[in-house]
Every structure is written in structure tokens, then in C-alpha cells.
């Protein structure tokens, strides 16, 4: 499958305040370029997933704005945001087989059956999950589930791919294989990738840039390979183990 010709996928966040229950997340300014791989790192409960879901528009913002390709997400229904999201628990539809999961978006878009079947097969081959095509999510492994969820998101050729701790539950070997898959997918689909992690090495290894979230606020943004060399405020330095 070739990458799409369109060149979208920028994310711009301005003076954002997002609330989830009593938790508040503040991001004054963040600009993620098209085709960039952006890592969000931070402690557990710092607000990483809240930021990811805010970008996806899963809930209304308390204040500020998020622009996807210059368009305010409030003006864009979730179905038209051209983004894919993969959760840590994969959120696969348990009543559908892996192939049906991957083809769900195509079915919703009323893509002709033959064309949909062809695209699903391409994804099954791309992610090496043809052998589990007819299985239900309840009996596939974590790595297979991750690949199935990625395939389901990417079959729609999104401009933005949001990944919530995608590799945290995988063993080191599968993790390495998934890193390769993600790089391959990024090269092939040319989409912007935002992923949440609390593994600094993962952020350095995969990301172009990284944002550090601590105590409900985006504290710093830097090139991913400078996470361990650049000077930050004492709080961030302490979090990175350099304090």
C-alpha cells in the first residue's frame, strides 16, 4: 500500500485546559509538524493520556483550542478528523474477528466489498497477522492485538496516528519488532505519530521530538535525542533522573 499524496497532519495546541473529573491538564503551546513522530513522556497520572485524548477530541476542552491542519477540532466531527487511535488495551471490538475489526472503518465508509477485502488483506500481510484473521480478540496475544489495532487504525490512512503506551505491555523482543513496524508504518503512510510512553529510551529511539508532562502541565519540549543532554528546570531534571 502506498502512502497518500496528501500532506496534512499538523497539530497546534493553544492555551489548552482539559479537565477529566478533578484532574486538570494545561498546555500553553505545542505545535507538532506534519509527519513528525512526537513522544509524550511523563509520570503515571501526569496527564499523558488526557493530552492524547484531548488531541483526538474525546471530550470538550475547558479552555483554549486544538487545531488539526489549522481547523479547530470543535468544528470537526470526530468522524472527519482523519485520525486513528490505538489504546494500550487495543480496544479491539470483541464481537468481531481480527479481519472484521480491520475492515470496520471501510465498512462505515461504505467502501465496495471487493476493494475493502483487498485493503484488509494488504493490512493483514503488512502486519503479518494473516494467521489470526479469523480469530476473535479474546484469544490473540498482546503483540498480535497491538498489530491488529494498528492495522485497523491505518487501513483508513489517517493523517494523525495517536498511540497510548503502545508497547508497554510487550516483551523486549516483541517490543523491538514493533519499533521496526512503527518506523515502517510511518515511512509508508507518512502520517503524524503522537505516542505516549514512560520509557525514555523508547521516546529517544522512536521520536523526533519529545514533550515532558509533569503534574498536569507540559513542562518542556525538545528533540528526542537531547532528552539526556539538554538542561531543563529542576523538576524535569529530577524526573529524568539527572537532578
| Minimum CB distance to other proteins, residue 153 (Å) | 8
Angle value at C-alpha 76, between 70 and 80, nearest 5 degrees: 105
| Minimum CB distance to other proteins, residue 239 (Å) | 27
Report the C-alpha gap between 197 and 186 in whole angstroms: 17
The smaller minimum CB distance to other proteins, of residues 126 and 203, is found at: 126
The smaller minimum CB distance to other proteins, of residues 81 and 209, is found at: 81
Number of other residues whose CB lies within 10 A of the CB of residue 61: 18
| Minimum CB distance to other proteins, residue 220 (Å) | 29
Report the C-alpha gap between 30 and 17 in whole angstroms: 13
Give the DSSP per-residue string, 143-207: HHHHHHHHHHHHTT--SEEEEESTTTTS-HHHHHHHHHHHHHHHHHH--EEEEEES-HHHHHHH-
Please give the residue ranges that form the binding site for other proteins (CB under 8 A): 56, 58, 78-79, 81, 83-85, 87, 89, 91-95, 97, 104-105, 108-109, 134-140, 152-153, 156, 158
Contact call for residues 68 and 81 (beta carbons, < 8 A): yes
| Minimum CB distance to other proteins, residue 120 (Å) | 13
E strand or H helix at 117: helix 113-126
| Minimum CB distance to other proteins, residue 108 (Å) | 4
DSSP state of 102: H
The smaller minimum CB distance to other proteins, of residues 161 and 220, is found at: 161
Contact call for residues 170 and 146 (beta carbons, < 8 A): yes
Cβ within 8 Å of residue 28, ≥6 positions away: 14, 15, 16, 218
The smaller minimum CB distance to other proteins, of residues 108 and 233, is found at: 108
| Minimum CB distance to other proteins, residue 27 (Å) | 20
The smaller minimum CB distance to other proteins, of residues 61 and 140, is found at: 140
The smaller minimum CB distance to other proteins, of residues 161 and 214, is found at: 161
Amino acid at each position: 500500500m502506498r502512502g497518500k499524496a496528501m500532506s496534512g497532519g499538523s497539530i497546534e495546541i493553544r492555551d489548552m485546559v482539559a479537565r477529566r473529573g478533578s484532574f486538570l491538564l494545561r498546555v500553553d503551546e505545542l505545535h507538532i509538524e506534519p509527519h513528525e513522530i512526537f513522544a509524550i513522556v511523563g509520570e503515571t497520572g501526569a496527564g499523558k493520556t488526557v493530552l492524547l485524548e484531548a488531541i483526538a477530541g474525546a471530550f470538550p476542552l475547558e479552555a483554549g483550542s486544538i487545531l488539526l491542519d489549522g481547523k479547530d477540532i470543535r468544528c470537526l466531527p470526530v468522524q472527519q478528523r482523519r485520525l486513528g487511535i490505538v489504546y494500550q488495551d487495543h480496544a479491539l471490538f470483541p464481537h468481531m474477528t481480527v479481519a472484521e475489526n480491520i475492515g470496520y472503518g471501510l465498512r462505515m465508509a461504505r467502501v465496495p466489498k471487493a476493494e475493502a477485502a483487498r485493503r484488509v488483506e494488504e493490512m493483514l500481510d503488512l502486519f503479518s497477522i494473516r494467521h489470526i484473521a479469523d480469530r476473535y480478540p479474546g484469544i490473540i496475544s498482546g503483540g498480535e492485538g497491538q498489530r491488529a489495532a494498528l492495522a485497523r487504525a491505518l487501513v483508513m490512512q489517517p493523517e494523525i496516528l495517536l498511540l497510548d503506551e503502545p508497547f508497554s505491555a510487550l516483551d523486549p523482543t516483541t517490543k523491538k519488532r514493533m519499533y521496526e513496524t512503527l518506523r515502517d508504518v510511518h515511512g509508508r503512510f507518512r502520517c503524524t505519530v503522537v505516542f505516549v510512553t514512560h520509557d525514555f529510551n523508547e521516546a529517544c529511539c522512536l521520536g523526533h521530538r519529545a514533550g515532558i508532562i509533569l503534574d498536569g502541565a507540559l513542562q518542556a519540549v525538545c528533540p528526542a535525542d537531547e532528552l539526556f543532554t539538554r538542561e531543563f528546570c529542576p523538576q524535569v531534571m529530577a524526573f529524568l533522573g539527572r537532578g
